[in-house]
Amino acid sequence: MIEWDAAKIKAFQTTLLDWYDRAGRDLPWRHDQEPYHVWVSEIMLQQTQVQTVIPYYERFMDWFPTLKALADAPEERLLKAWEGLGYYSRVRNMQRCARQLINDYDGQWPQTAAELTELIGIGPYTAGAIASIAFGEAVPAVDGNAYRVFSRLLEIDADVAKPQTRTVFERAISRIISRERPGDFNQAIMDLGASYMTARQPDSAHSPVKAFNQAYLDGVEAQYPVKTKKPRPVPVAYVAVLATMADRWLMVQRPSTGMLANLWTVPLLAVTDLDLADDATDAELLHAVTTTFTKDYQLTLTDVQLVSGRPVTHTFTHQKWTIRLVRATVQPADLAYFDGRAVTEKQLAALPMPKVQEKVFVRYQAETKDR
DNA sequence: GAGGCGTGGTC
DNA sequence: TGACCAAGCCT
């Protein structure tokens, strides 16, 4: 890691901010410095690309224009607004944070990063982003862009996959950040990280800060940032039960904790819970599905059949699901004890569902048309 | 502090 | 396909 003197720091600030004034992106959440707007955008942008976020942000502001609207929203509507964005605890934590602000802070945002970190769902990065952008506090906002940009500029060799590395970057950036325009400085770093200083195939030769990019000047840019690899997703097998009662689909809500919390899917049975031998036949599978389904949902399945075709696969960060599809019907009288909903096609649209559920429906329709 | 927690895009 | 990446936080 190299050090910059005061003159070089000043020159870097000027170069970076001049470029940002000239070429910074016009994004919907940059039209003002409302902390609510900054906050919503920053939460959406966690692990998510700008192009994906823009339409979600516009709709979110339409549905929940104020902190109070968000605090008062039904969770189903909230999750619907987030449907397809992933990491769904983000939006549930946002509502908890909105209520926290209203109840404990008189509806007023605290204005320092140190205080913002106390709020639910706001960690070191988001606190720095809100404090600098909305309130002008000269604090770093260390995200993936900052790791990428500053590891190259300063040849920082610390492993960015390790939590304690963040403090290394915070200390370095704290010395370099503009005291006059900290919010613009942090956003300029993000724009730089999304344009010239990308993860793959950076274009440092044309970067406005190439003269400050030590790794580039030394021809070792490809080495940065240093990051250890994550383990591969573990395989998990399910059977999806597409069950109807008259013209209604049987849908169940996932538990309030863990993966896809509180989202809706068709009943999913873990194959490990079916107690099947490795060489089990389709008939044995369907029998096990029928008995397990009855035990789990107090419903009797009839006309149980395997939907032909390949299983649906869906890869999460840490799990790879393989889902076989089973079609069945249930008797209306049984629904009294069903812990879920029997919904029409139209009602289905109001339920927040994960992407993997959409894949299951799409596959089912593809397999059953013209039959 | 390692692992849980989504999705879309690129190579 | 699989591997990796993209404005992280929580437990």
What are the domain boundaries of chain A?
A: 6-223, 234-368
At residue A319's C-alpha, the angle toward residues A367 and A339, to 5°, is 65
Q: How confident is the model at residue A337 (pLDDT cuts 50, 70, 90)?
A: confident
Per-residue pLDDT tens over the stretch A209-236: 999 999 999 999 999 999 998 888 999 9
Angle between helices A35-44 and A89-104 (to 10 degrees): 160
Residue with tokens 């610390």: A158
Residue with tokens 């389904």: A293
Q: How many CB atoms lie within 10 A of CB A233?
A: 13
Active-site residue (options: A3, A34, A42, A345): A42
- Is the distance from CB of A223 to CB of A313 less than 8 angstroms? no
Look at domain A234-368 and name its CATH class: alpha beta
Nucleotide nearest to A313 (CA to C1'): C1
| Tokens representing residue A183 in the block | 């919010």
- Is the distance from CB of A195 to CB of A166 less than 8 angstroms? no
- Establish whether the CB of A82 is closer than 7 Å to any nucleic acid atom in strand B: no
pLDDT at A369: 81
CB-proximal positions of chain C, under 7 Å: 2-10
- Establish whether the CB of A231 is closer than 7 Å to any nucleic acid atom in strand B: yes
Per-residue pLDDT tens over the stretch A46-59: 999 999 999 999 99
- The dotted CATH code for A6-223 is 1.10.340.30
pLDDT at A332: 76
pLDDT at A93: 97
- Is the distance from CB of A345 to CB of A351 less than 8 angstroms? no
pLDDT beyond 80 at A371: no
